Amino acid sequence: MGRVVGGTVYPGIMFTACFLKWFAAFLGFPIDIRNVCVFMAPFFSGFQSMSVYNMLKQTTNRPEDGLFAALFMAIVPSIISRGCAGSYDNEAVAIWAMVNTFYLWIKSCNTGSILWSVLCTLNYFYMVASWGGYSFIINIIPLFVIGCIFVNKLGNRVVVAYSVFYTLGTLLSALIPFVNF
């Protein structure tokens, strides 16, 4: 039909399915790629709840807040519809990637660690490879930094986190053909 599929598709979900199949085979579980694709959304839905728990626990230093957030994440109808078995769609993995990127961003700002900033950037790269909603992340994080400037809370930890994230994130996101053009 004239569409160049390789240049117009986000490859993250396909790489994820292949990786999970290879990982299961490595562990000695012979599983069909179809079954991997069918159960990938519920698998990542569990990861979403864990990431929300970690994000709120990191933000408030109260585990009970994280538990309530994970509970609310687990019962949101739009998350349930994207996390049911057989829902092989970009959002199945990308929502987890987005929430986990925000968790790692908060962790990197709280610690000022280059390691956490690099992990945040790698998760952002996974989000870019999976879904077009990566633009939410690349818009919210600079707004956070601008907000820190306006309220006079911009410290060395935020500067280190943002410098690593923005530089490495821009370089990595340009590797995805659909984003690069």
Identify residue 180 by its one-letter amino acid code: N
* Nearest CA-CA partner of 42 in 9, 80, 71: 80
Q: Which two tokens stand for residue 65?
A: 């807040």
The pLDDT of residue 10 is 82
Which CB contacts under 8 angstroms, 24+ apart, belong to 154-158? 155/112, 156/112, 157/108, 157/109, 157/110, 157/111, 157/112, 158/109, 158/112
DSSP 100-113: HHHHHHHHHHHH--
Q: Which residue has the tokens 């599983």?
A: 31
Identify the burial level of 98 via C-beta atoms within 10 angstroms of its C-beta, where 0-12 means exposed, 13-18 middle and 19 or more buried: buried
Higher per-residue pLDDT: 88 or 21: 21
pLDDT > 90 in the chain, percent: 62
pLDDT tens digits, one per residue of 41-80 = 899 988 999 999 999 999 999 999 989 998 888 888 888 8
Residue ranges of domains in the chain: 10-180
75 CB-near residues (< 8 Å, 6+ apart):
none
Q: What is the pTM of this model?
A: 0.90
Q: How confident is the model at residue 180 (pLDDT cuts 50, 70, 90)?
A: confident
Cβ count within 10 A of residue 121: 25
Q: Which two tokens stand for residue 72?
A: 């609310």
Q: Which residue has the tokens 């935020």?
A: 158
Mean per-residue pLDDT, 95-114:
95
The pLDDT of residue 92 is 82
Phi, psi of 31 (to 5 degrees): -125, 140
Give first-to-last CA distance, the chain, whole Å.
20
129 CB-near residues (< 8 Å, 6+ apart):
10, 11, 12, 15, 176
Mean per-residue pLDDT, 13-27:
93
